[in-house]
Structure 1
Amino acid sequence: MKNDPSALSSFAPTRRQLLGLGLAFAGATAFNVMPGFQLLASAQAAVPPAAQKIADHFSSVKSMSGEFVQFGPKGEQTGGKFFLERPGKIRFNYDGASNFRVISDGKSVAILNKRLNTSDLYPLSKTPLKLLLDDRIDLSGDRVKSVKQEDDLTTIQLADKTVFGNSKITMMFDPKSYELRQWTITDAQGKDTTVMIFNVKEGVSFAADTFAIDYTANRELNTKTR
């Protein structure tokens, strides 16, 4: 990845901004397609060949790590390091004293704030992260809402109301290398959170506990705080 972000502010991400990584849930607002995208008919089976090649390549990357910058709905910035292992596993270690962690173990997604001693748990299957982390990026059926092909960028927008309601995920790839550059989660209220990744390494190995979620600790912590 060639992306090189400018210096980050030191703010700690809010819960909404953390959810923007892929935990945006269904709401009542209508589906809005981003300007400049080519709409695809809901039943259309013919996905552009370039988009399918990109999806197949990204699916073939079984592990990767690197750094990320997150931009919130109001332009807030934070960052840190990420680790991904297909299928279903990802971890974000945020910079800063708040020591935020977002971890998916393939079944659940945990949001940890060690400074506040909180732990929130969500099913991965009900988040847009599921489409990013699936063993195969599925462009079949009506999941593909739009595709935009440019000389330096191919953008694919996916949504699945049966999984996460009115939220959607927009992924941006290098059309030549097929590398993922960034993604944007748009929640049910139309608020965008963008994650840009850089200094990415593919085919990496991780320690066994990298994507582990301590369910016992989560249960005990939330029992005490009720």
Structure 2
Amino acid sequence: MRWKCDKQIIRTVPAILLKQEPLWLNRMMKRESLPMLFSRFSAFAKAGRVAAVLGMGILGVGVAGAALAPVPVKAQGADGGIAAAQQIADHFSSARTMTGEFVQFGPRGEQTGGTFYIERPGKIRFNYNNSPIRVISDGDSVVINNRKLDTWDLYPLSKTPLKLLLADRIDLGGGRLQSVKQEPDMTTLVLGDKSVFGDSKITMMFDPKSYDLKQWTITDARKLDTTVMIFNVRTGVRFTNDMFKIDYQRIAMKRKGQ
């Protein structure tokens, strides 16, 4: 399934909306025409009612009707809650490779975008548009590389919630599934592992009918969120052998000051 996103909306939406609730934007893009969407943004901005719009979820009312409240897994029953969520996770992890475009929203409302590539288990790459930055995971480590400054920040993949997204099979057992939220247009799974990631967690949002992943949010130990929305996704693609290669030799040389 290919999901197309109108980039003009992304560029035009006020930064405060992107900072507060990217998922809200995702839903609005599905339900509203472009003129209607801009009209809503303009009207709410002039009236100073941005907070009220974003608070609709608290009241259990969405733009197109009532939304369901978050349902903790324990409240659903451990077996039933995990089984339903596992079906979605299994569909996602059955796609061994995928690529597409992404828009990323940082914790201060900053917006970037580019192309992403995933190969299970453990491999991901983000190429950012008009930027020397790239992020690569080779299954063992994750590196943030600034090609212009020749800087390399290396982290173990096993210590980041990104590992849960890239697992060979997304296992929701062992207390990793923290909550499930079901709505007419989105199913949300929150995963974490305090013994490994501390307070960090990953929130994954899926289409409830196709089970396709639409976006994910990484929440770090400081409760800061980084959200990635994906679109124009293709699965079953082949990559070159060096797509997820990390230049450890160059990293070692930099650490020695060479």
| TM-score normalised per structure 2 | 0.73
Aligned ranges 1:57-96 → 2 under 5 Å: 57-96=91-130
Return the letter of the residue paired with 1:161: K
Return the letter of the residue paired with 2:145: L
Q: Which moved more, 1:45-54 or 1:131-140?
A: 45-54
**C-alpha distance after superposition, 1:82-107 (max 9, x if no partner):** 000000000000111x3111000000
Partners of 1:45 and 1:168 lie apart in 2 by 22
Structure with bigger helix share is 2
Aligned Cα root-mean-square deviation (Å): 2.0
Q: Which has the higher contact order (CA 8 A, sep 6+)?
A: 1
Partners of 1:208 and 1:132 lie apart in 2 by 22
**Other-structure match for 2:3:** 2
2:133–2:144: 8 Å Cα contact kept in structure 1? yes
**Other-structure match for 2:28:** none
1:103–1:213: 8 Å Cα contact kept in structure 2? yes
Give the 3-state SS of the residue equivalent to 2:84 in structure 1.
Answer: helix
Deviation (angstroms), 1:163: 2.0
List gaps (5 residues or longer) in structure 1.
Answer: 10-33
Q: How many residues align?
A: 200
**C-alpha distance after superposition, 1:10-48 (max 9, x if no partner):** xxxxxxxxxxxxxxxxxxxxxxxx974222339934425
Partners of 1:81 and 1:122 lie apart in 2 by 21
**Other-structure match for 1:209:** 242
1:109–1:122: 8 Å Cα contact kept in structure 2? yes
Structure label with greater radius of gyration: 2
1:3–1:197: 8 Å Cα contact kept in structure 2? no
4+ residue runs over 6 A deviation: none
Partners of 1:134 and 1:170 lie apart in 2 by 15
2:132–2:148: 8 Å Cα contact kept in structure 1? yes
Deviation (angstroms), 1:181: 0.2
Aligned ranges 1:1-226 → 2 under 5 Å: 1-7=2-8, 36-41=69-74, 44-96=78-130, 98-224=131-257
Deviation (angstroms), 1:185: 0.5
**Other-structure match for 1:22:** none
List gaps (5 residues or longer) in structure 2.
Answer: 12-56, 59-68
Partners of 1:110 and 1:56 lie apart in 2 by 27
